[in-house]
Amino acid sequence: MDKHEEVLIALRQIIRAIDLHSRKLNKVAGLTGPQLVLMRAIRDSGEVTIRQLSNITNMSQATATTILDRLESRNLVIRQRSQLDKRKVHAHLTPEGEAVLAKAPLPLQEDFVAQFQNLEDWEQSLLLSSVQRISTMMNAEHLDVAAMLHVGHINPQDPEN
């Protein structure tokens, strides 16, 4: 097998691993990857505005708002106007949201990050430069994406988000 075929197979394996994790997350908790990331950010941040959430999760405010709309319609999240500053709206998990989050598997990237951080600095740099080069070779370096692993459309109007 040629090396380029081995690289393409490895890329497909990565995509498949992300897809399988996304399916498991949906089956176990009924959430998408971005929904899980947003709910975890709400839980971990305490009182948090939508702007702060978008910064923490590397999502646009429009994407974060769309995801919050879906989570709110499922009674997993509520938005409340601040008592101190009526211009601010804070997101909070509902008891149902906390229960769903408690049973949800960890985001796939958490295991990756832990393993990556255990590598030597030179190996981290080698992997980073290799993946960045692959991204460039696939004409993908210009795509605006968050630092979370999720298979699906990049369009923020995507019903998967």
Enumerate domains of the chain plus CATH numbers: 3-137 (1.10.10.10)
The pTM of this model reads 0.71
Cβ atoms 133, 140 nearer than 8 A: no
How far apart, in whole angstroms, are the C-alpha atoms of residue 140 and residue 92? 35
Residue 150 in this model has a pLDDT that exceeds 60: no
Q: Which pLDDT tens digit goes with each residue over 104-134? A: 888 777 788 889 999 999 999 999 999 999 9
Q: Which pLDDT tens digit goes with each residue over 50-71? A: 899 988 888 889 999 999 999 9
How many Cα atoms occupy the beta-carbon half-sphere of 145 within 13 Å?
A: 13
How far apart, in whole angstroms, are the C-alpha atoms of residue 55 and residue 64? 10
For residue 7, report the phi and psi dihedrals to the nearest 5 degrees.
Answer: -65, -45
Per-residue pLDDT, 145: 64
